[in-house]
Amino acid sequence: MSVTFSVDGEAYEIADEHATLSLLRVLRDVLQITAAKNACEQGECGSCTVAIDGELACACLVLAGQADGASVETAAGLAGAGSLHPVQEAFVQAGAVQCGFCTPGFVMATRDLLARNADPSDDDIREGLAGNLCRCTGYHKILDAVRAAAVALREDAET
């Protein structure tokens, strides 16, 4: 028996023996997909945030077997052929990447927030990113990046 799921559009099959590992451990150690970062392994920091069938989840809290048949999306999967996703571009332009360790989780949370709320207030942004921690910044550049991404996505939607 095996577990199958897709990651960023590519199909994977893992041996049943890996089904009881966290999705994070399988992504990083078995499949060598390192976009989700390993920081706390307790669901507290958001560095391992992925979307599973469109819903955000901390990959460290999900058993790989629970993802059987699912579509998993990481921050690396957001980029198009030769171009960054507007959220990724906004993080780069705002200088919100710092060391980059928390960035994938923030990018996934931002993309999710902006899909639900195209014009979030600062309070909405803080609430939408509440499950993500950064050790490098005072969050100002991250908030700037979310605001810029919101504008870029609204402009893309108008064209």
- Give the model confidence (pLDDT) of 21-76 as tens digits: 999 999 999 999 999 999 999 999 999 999 999 999 999 999 999 999 999 999 99
114, 70: one domain: no
94, 73: one domain: no
Burial of 144 (0-12, 13-18, 19+ CB in 10 A): middle
Token code pair at residue 25: 């451990």
Cβ neighbours around 150 below 10 Å, total: 22
72, 130: one domain: no
| Residues spanned by the domain of 142 | 86-158
- Give the model confidence (pLDDT) of 136-147 as tens digits: 877 999 999 999
CA distance 106 to 126: 11
The model's pTM is 0.94
73, 90: one domain: no
CA distance 14 to 70: 13
**Packed helices 103-116 and 86-94: angle between N→C axes, nearest 10 degrees:** 120
The total number of structural domains in the chain stands at 2
